[in-house]
Amino acid sequence: MSRVLAVANQKGGVAKTTTVASIGAALSAEGKRVLVVDLDPQGCLTFSLGHDPDKLSVSVHEVLLGEAEIGDALLETADGVTLLPATIDLAGAEALLLMRPGREYALKRALAEIADDYDIVLLDCPPSLGVLTLNGLTAADELVVPLQCETLAHRGVGQLLRTVNEVQQITNPDLDLLGAIPTLYDSRTTHSRDVLADVSDRYDLPVLSPPVPRTVRFAEASASGATVLAGRKNKGAEAYRELAANLSRYWSGAELVTLEG
């Protein structure tokens, strides 16, 4: 059975897509069978992994609405992960799903069909708390929250945590919140460190190690259609490899390594 990890934060620009793509590539390099799912109508994950959303005829949109089998929508990527892509059509799926009973379970039902084909499934949730994100949280075993290390970046964390609590009570009582992943981190400033300490104290939220540094390599990688791990050696790629290794050890029974210890 697959282990499903959702990556969610309703704030945009906090490196959700980069986190999914990079951790996915790192886990694939470890020999794991990895599926990444693009739940964002903007299709950024799809594009960053080398596929043009505008040229796809089948995507997660059709899968969620029951118009296509999940196996017919899957794509291979240069980074070794399998992709369930998104297109702009997904923007209309929210309204269509709202009219259907059991709408929060559409993704969970689809993933159940391929549960034995992958070791890890990573979900790139959109920057909102709508039906698509609820589908991701309902389908997931665990959740991590990418968090930009700037003052205003964590203002929505409390709202997200309330949504997670509601999901745990209603649609997915087994959802486990692993903690925050600090992104766009600048170790030279006390500001970045203060933001992390504030999040940890205010929300009682573990902060996973290591923090991901700010680097232009992420933007360059997205434009090339491959993850940052495929390029030259850099600090961002190394951080995501360490995060992937941290998660792998946790899934094998070890404790998660956090910045608090």
210-256 residue pLDDT tens: 989 876 555 554 555 557 676 667 788 899 999 999 999 999 999 99
Per the structure, the count of domains in the chain is: 1
Is residue 176 in a domain? yes
Tell whether 260 is covered by a domain: no
258: in domain = no
The length of the chain, given as a count of residues: 261
Looking at residue 212, the DSSP 8-state letter turns out to be P
Average pLDDT over residues 44-72: 95
Residue with tokens 């997670």, as numbered in its chain? 164
**pTM score over 0.95:** no
Residue 147 lies in a domain: yes
Flag whether 259 is in a domain.
no
Burial of 150 (0-12, 13-18, 19+ CB in 10 A): middle
The percentage of the chain sitting over the pLDDT mark of 70, rounded to a whole number, equals 91
* pLDDT at residue 99, as a whole number: 86
For residue 134, give its domain range. Answer: 3-251
In a domain, 261, yes or no: no
Instruction: For residue 18, count CB atoms less than 10 angstroms from its CB and return exposed for 0-12, middle for 13-18, buried for 19 or more.
Output: buried
- What 8-state DSSP symbol labels residue 184? S
Place 23 in a pLDDT band, splitting at 50, 70 and 90.
very high
**What's the pLDDT at 162?**
92
Examine the pLDDT at 114 and tell me if it is beyond 90: yes
Query: Which of 14-18, 51-55, 176-180, 249-253 bottoms out in mean pLDDT, i.e. has the lowest?
Result: 14-18
User: Residue range 112-134: average pLDDT?
Assistant: 95
Return the bridge partners of 147, or none: 182
% of the chain beyond a pLDDT of 90: 64
Specify the CATH number for the domain of residue 224: 3.40.50.300
Q: pLDDT tens digits, residue range 132-189? A: 999 999 999 999 999 887 766 677 788 889 999 999 999 999 999 999 998 888 777 7
* pLDDT (0 to 100) of residue 142: 98
Gap between the Cα atoms of 212 and 215, Å rounded = 9
The mean pLDDT value for 101-110 works out to 94
**What three-state secondary structure class fits 84?**
strand
pLDDT score of 40 more than 50: yes
